[in-house]
Structure 1
Amino acid sequence: MPRNDSLEMGELTDTAFYILLSVVEPKHGYLIMQSIESMTNQRLTVGPASMYTTIKKLLAAGLIELFDDDDDKRKTYAATAKGMELLRKNVEWRKDMVRHAETIFQLKGVIER
């Protein structure tokens, strides 16, 4: 059975989520990696190969675009309107996931509110 690409299904992997979140304001590759590490308190590190593979997919899906910043030495990326909408939907979905888990944990006595 062929594996569907998560972007085609409107889902973001953690790496794609953080890259897209990072380029809400235009950033170049190295700054994207630094932003992700900073946001996650170094719990998530995205290496160059993984980052550029994901960026290529995000570009192809129209979720990010090259941002013209007159710097020929490095590429800068920015989220598109389509990317921002998908990011918002994913944030809501992830909030729902946490609420579902908290409800089950509470019912099973795993955590207290």
Structure 2
Amino acid sequence: MNEQTFLILTALAGEPQHGYGVVEDVLRISEGRVRLRAGTLYGVLDRLRTDGLIEVDREEVVQSRLRRYYRLTGLGAERLADETARLRRNANAAAARLRLFAEGTA
């Protein structure tokens, strides 16, 4: 799972959101590192819907424009949890190696 997908799923784990809300939430979660463009966001959202990881929560019209809200599915939550565990294992392995490195260079 790439970082953009991970962050979008993370944003939707909090609450259903529309596209712009996801963009802003990803920016906050990533501490400003990841800025999603509309084309990228909607491409990922379409793929996540097709894969059953998210679904449409509701739609509303705001200033004559359709606003679609997305939410995480149970399968999406499982995949996000799996990826979180994988990243945690990798970070722990890296931290252990760095401790060994620091001990060897001290």
Q: TM-score, normalised by structure 1?
A: 0.82
Deviation sequence 1:8-56 (CA, Å, 0-9, x none): xxxx210001111111210000000000111122111111111111111
What pairs with 1:4-43 in structure 2 (closer than 5 Å)?
Answer: 12-24=1-13, 25-43=15-33
Residue type matched to 2:92 in 1?
A: R
User: Structure 2: which amino acid aligns with 1:106?
Assistant: R
**What residue ranges of structure 2 are gaps of 5+ in the alignment?**
none
Measure the CA separation in 2 of the matches of 1:89 and 1:41.
Answer: 23
User: Aligned equivalents of 2:2 and 2:30: distance in 1?
Assistant: 15
Counterpart mapping for 1:97-112 below 5 A: 97-109=90-102
- CA deviations on 1:50-105 (whole Å, 9 max, x unpaired) are 1111111100100000012x514111100000000110111110000100101111
Rg larger in 1 or in 2? 2
Quick check: which one's strand share is greater?
2
Determine the structure 2 residue equivalent to 1:6: none
The letter of the residue matching 1:41 is: E
TM-score where L is the length of structure 2: 0.87
Question: Could you tell me which amino acid in structure 2 is paired with residue 13 of structure 1?
Answer: N
Deviation at 1:108, TM superposition (A): 1.3
CA distance, structure 2, for counterparts of residue 98 and residue 65 of structure 1: 31
Structure 2 residue 71 is matched with structure 1 residue 81: no
Number of aligned residue pairs:
98
Letter paired with 2:55: E
Identity of aligned residues (%): 23
- Runs ≥4 in structure 1, deviation > 2 angstroms? none
Going by fraction, where is helix more abundant, 1 or 2? 2
